[in-house]
Amino acid sequence: MTPNSETSRGENLASCHDCGFVVALEGGAHHAATHCPRCHAVVHRRKPDSLNRTWALVITAAMLYVPANIFPVMRVISMGKAQEDTILSGAIYLLVHGMWPLALIVFFASVVVPLLKLIALTFLLISIQKGSSWRPVERTKLYHVVEAVGRWSMTDIYVVTILVALVSLGNLATIEAGLGAVYFAGVVVMTMLAAESFDPRLIWDRVRESNG
């Protein structure tokens, strides 16, 4: 079933972010707002202040990404000796022990995914600010991917949690969460909020403008 596209541009229509109800907004302002009659959420034509918010969250996440990778996420104290694991050394440990499929998953989830997410969002933000009308369909798909894969970065945080919980008797070995885990948790939260505050419809606003 392909839906028929409307002939009118629907310039004063806006859909409710929470329930999808289509509301007619008065005035042409970009940020004109009203309450949704169906769910009472505030309806905006575009997410308010989307570009600035997303930039702020992306920059914060990028700054947290550095210490998240430098500081150990986990400290194993066993018989008086302490061994520290960073995110990367955790993946290498799996690789050395012949668990390369798992090593690849951990490497992708913790190192590649947050980095790609930051690069992709930066690219989308810049392309919108430059008023680009280049490949809007692909850029929208890129946004959907960014939105969907981000959660997998939590894997390492869960590994630390489970190890801390299991090896907590204290007489033989202790496992502690390191400072890296705190920064890494920050990266995950900031990138998720950044994806949420980004409004993909901005990609299409420029396309519409450039088509006249």
Partner 1 sequence: MLDLNFKALGSAELSIPAGWLTLCHACDLPSRVGNVPVGGTARCPRCGSVLYKRVGDSLDRTLAFALAGLFLFIAANAFPFLALKMQGNVTHTTLSTGVRSLYEQGSPIVASLVLLTTILAPLLQISSLIFVLGPLRLGLRIPGQARVFRVLRSVQAWSMMEVFIMGVLVSLVKLLDMAQIVPGLALWSFVLLIPVLAAASSSLDAEWVWRRIGLEE
DSSP for residue 150: G
Task: State the Cα–Cα distance between residues 161 and 201, nearest whole angstrom.
Answer: 38
DSSP for residue 59: H
Residue 207: enclosing H or E segment and its boundaries?
helix 201-210
For residue 36, state whether it binds Zn ion (rule: CB under 5 A).
yes
> Whole-number minimum distance, CB 152 to partner 1, in Å?
6
For residue 63, state whether it binds partner 1 (rule: CB under 8 A).
no
For residue 53, state whether it binds partner 1 (rule: CB under 8 A).
no
Find the binder of Zn ion among 15, 21, 104, 174 (CB under 5 A). 21
Point out which span in 1-9, 14-22, 58-66, 191-199 binds Zn ion (CB under 5 A): 14-22
Find the binder of partner 1 among 26, 169, 211, 212 (CB under 8 A). 169
- Residue 125's alpha-carbon distances to 6, 52, 56, 149, 194, in angstroms, are 28, 9, 11, 19, 11
For residue 202, state whether it binds Zn ion (rule: CB under 5 A).
no
Could you tell me if residue 79 is left (phi over 0), alpha (psi between -120 and 50 degrees) or otherwise beta?
Answer: left
For residue 16, state whether it binds Zn ion (rule: CB under 5 A).
yes
Mask of contacts with partner 1, 16-35, x by CB under 8 A?
Answer: -xxxxxx-------------
For residue 39, state whether it binds Zn ion (rule: CB under 5 A).
yes
Residue 194: enclosing H or E segment and its boundaries?
helix 179-197
Edge-first strand listing for the sheet containing 173-177 = 81-85, 74-78, 173-177
Q: Which is nearer to partner 1, 34 or 155 (CB)?
A: 155
> Whole-number minimum distance, CB 142 to Zn ion, in Å?
14
Find the binder of Zn ion among 22, 33, 41, 66 (CB under 5 A). 41
For residue 19, state whether it binds Zn ion (rule: CB under 5 A).
yes
> Can you give the length of the chain in residues?
212
Residue 192: enclosing H or E segment and its boundaries?
helix 179-197
For residue 163, state whether it binds partner 1 (rule: CB under 8 A).
yes
Q: Which residues lie near Zn ion (CB under 5 A)?
A: 16, 18-19, 21, 36, 38-39, 41
